[in-house]
Amino acid sequence: MISDLEALPANIDLAIIGAGPAGLAASTIAARRGLGTLVLDENPGVGGQVYRAIMANPVRDRAVLGADYWRGEALAKEAVASSAQHAASATVWSVSPLETAGYEIGVSMAGRSRMITAQEVMLATGALERPFPIPGWTLPGIMSCGGAQTALKASGLIPDGRIVIAGCGPLLWLIAWQYLNAGASIAAILDTTPRANWLGAMPHLPAFLASPYFAKGLKLMRAVGAKVRVVSGVEALRAEGTDKVESVVYTKGGREQSIAVDVLLLHQGVVPSINLSNAIGCRHTWDEAQLTWKPETDDWGVTSMPGLTVAGDGVGIAGAEAAAERGRIAALSAAHRLGKIDAATRDRDAAAPRATLRRFERGRMFLDALYRPAKAYRIPQGDTIVCRCEEVTADRIRATVPLGATGPNQMKSFLRCGMGPCQGRLCGLTVAELIADERGISPQELGYYRLRPPVKPIALAELAAMPKTEASTKAVVRV
């Protein structure tokens, strides 16, 4: 494990960004195939979000996080034991193409930065939660299910007080189940899955029943349902309170209801994290089934930029096990491009991962259709805040379209939405869908923010102190 900036290799065959399931599986394969491989991850340990803190978890009782979590242990051990190098607490803040071939990567460790180069780069940066912009969602006491899960995995923390979980999607049930295992009491689960979604999901049911998702999901929902009041068909969800959240209000069957809460966990699915692939300059497309942007890739994970692959949930949500298979496939393609294996070997070795991946991807279509978030929860109205960093409301965005803000980038220039430190992670999808809705066109026609590096903020002092020698400049040019 590399924990010192100077110990990073100046140049490497393959740099993998992210040590979640995709990055871990990819690093093992790439190292075995003889690629000089470096995995960079901003967390202190490997595992990514799903297997967070897998090698050093404070939650001793294995039943709390469940077998699916601990499945990551073998993956992590294999990767750590391989010849791939792992840099922990290493934040990648920029990846840019070199003039000839390869990439330059800006890495920050312990408050200092330097640039390294790689022939190939694999982005295994996973997913982030879809924004859930309901009235009152910025009140203290409200957090995302993902944030709650991070605190549980990394520190064993569960919040005090009355907890309500609202939204839809598999992760909602998983966090509820893990909370119950950890001894938390949950006042209610408010399921916002639109009833009409069942109709669209039914055609995908057979593939789902045949996929590994089915048994897992059913087990979770049964276990949670036995212990917690679950309200389905929840509409018009909003949070109320003055200094902090005090109640969650919703309608069911036309009748308004209210529950007193101290903690409200919101979640309506995860979407690919595209900040890095976007900032590098990859082409992206709108996925109408998953209602999100994703980088354009071929079936080896290669993007529109040569030598740049994306693996894992970053190319479309399919879960941890599918992510690992995508990592293996992308690693094989990198090994082939760098001359370590021939095409026949690459294709042969990719056959088994592809077969597994297909089962997950086909099962996924049912989940995508069933848990498709309602329009009202994606495209807010009135003075609901859309951009938290700059406090821009839905109304202001709609009113600015006629001034010439016909796309997200123009909107950014007018209202600064997406210009805060989160770089659109919390508002990008909402802003795009809102403008598209206002103009009556699809997000694909509209396009997305052109995101700017650094993809993670960097201290001015750190940039100023970056080593800049003639030799290092020349070394970059030669690569």
Partner 1 sequence: MTETADVIVIGGGIHGCSTALHLAMRGIRVVLIEKDYSGRHSSGVNAGGVRQLARHLAEVPISVFSMSLWEHIADLVDDDCGFSNHGQVLVAESEPELEAFRERVDDLKLRGFIHEELIDRTELKKLVPAVSDQCPGGVVSRRDGAADPFRTTQAFRRKAVSLGARIHEGVAVMGLRRNGAVWRVETSAGAFEAPKIVNAAGAWADRVAAAAGDPVPLEVIAPMLMITAPVPHFIDPVVILRSRKLSFKQFANGTVMIGGGYRARPYRDENRTVIDWRQLADSAKTVWELFPIMRSATIVRAWAGIEARMPDDIPVIGPSASSEGIYHQFGFSAHGFQLGPGVGALMAELVATGATNLPIAPFRVDRFKDGLAATDH
Per CB under 8 A, 410 contacts partner 1 = yes
Query: Among all chains, which residue has been given the structure tokens 């180069």?
Result: 117
Angle of the 67-81 helix axis to the 320-337 helix axis, nearest 10:
20
Per CB under 8 A, 210 contacts partner 1 = no
Per CB under 8 A, 96 contacts partner 1 = yes
| In the complex, minimum distance from the CB of residue 409 to partner 1, in angstroms, rounded to a whole number | 8
Say how far apart CA 11 and CA 98 lie, in whole Å: 13
Per CB under 8 A, 421 contacts partner 1 = yes
| In the complex, minimum distance from the CB of residue 61 to partner 1, in angstroms, rounded to a whole number | 40
Of 370-409, which residues contact partner 1 (CB under 8 A)?
A: 403-404, 406-407
Q: Which of residues 110 and 460 has its CB atom nearest to partner 1 in the complex? A: 460
Residues 6+ apart with CB under 8 A from 139: 239, 241, 244, 245
Binding string, 110-129, against partner 1, x = CB under 8 A? -----x--------------
Of 239-258, which residues contact partner 1 (CB under 8 A)?
A: none
Torsion of CA 344, 347, 349, 352, to 10 degrees: -150
Say how far apart CA 468 and CA 446 lie, in whole Å: 40
Q: Which of residues 79 and 415 has its CB atom nearest to partner 1 in the complex? A: 415
Of 444-463, which residues contact partner 1 (CB under 8 A)?
A: 452-454, 457-461, 463
Per CB under 8 A, 200 contacts partner 1 = no
Say how far apart CA 98 and CA 104 lie, in whole Å: 6
Q: Which of residues 381 and 413 has its CB atom nearest to partner 1 in the complex? A: 413
| In the complex, minimum distance from the CB of residue 270 to partner 1, in angstroms, rounded to a whole number | 24
Say how far apart CA 435 and CA 444 lie, in whole Å: 12
Say how far apart CA 449 and CA 466 lie, in whole Å: 29
| In the complex, minimum distance from the CB of residue 427 to partner 1, in angstroms, rounded to a whole number | 15
Q: Which of residues 235 and 390 has its CB atom nearest to partner 1 in the complex? A: 390
Q: Which of 20, 45, 102, 106 contacts partner 1 by CB under 8 A?
A: 106
Applying CB under 8 A, which part among 66-74, 97-105, 220-228, 429-437 lies near partner 1?
97-105
Q: Which of 117, 193, 423, 430 contacts partner 1 by CB under 8 A?
A: 423
CA-wise closest residue to 247 among 231, 235, 228, 263? 263
Strand boundaries in 124-234, DSSP class E: 127-129, 142-144, 163-168, 186-191, 230-231
Strand boundaries in 276-369, DSSP class E: 284-287, 292-295, 308-310
| Structure tokens that stand for 82 in this block | 């391989």
| Structure tokens that stand for 263 in this block | 């903690």
Per CB under 8 A, 442 contacts partner 1 = no
Binding site for partner 1 (CB under 8 A): 94, 96-97, 99, 104, 106, 115, 281, 403-404, 406-407, 410, 413-414, 416, 419-421, 423, 452-454, 457-461, 463-466, 468, 473
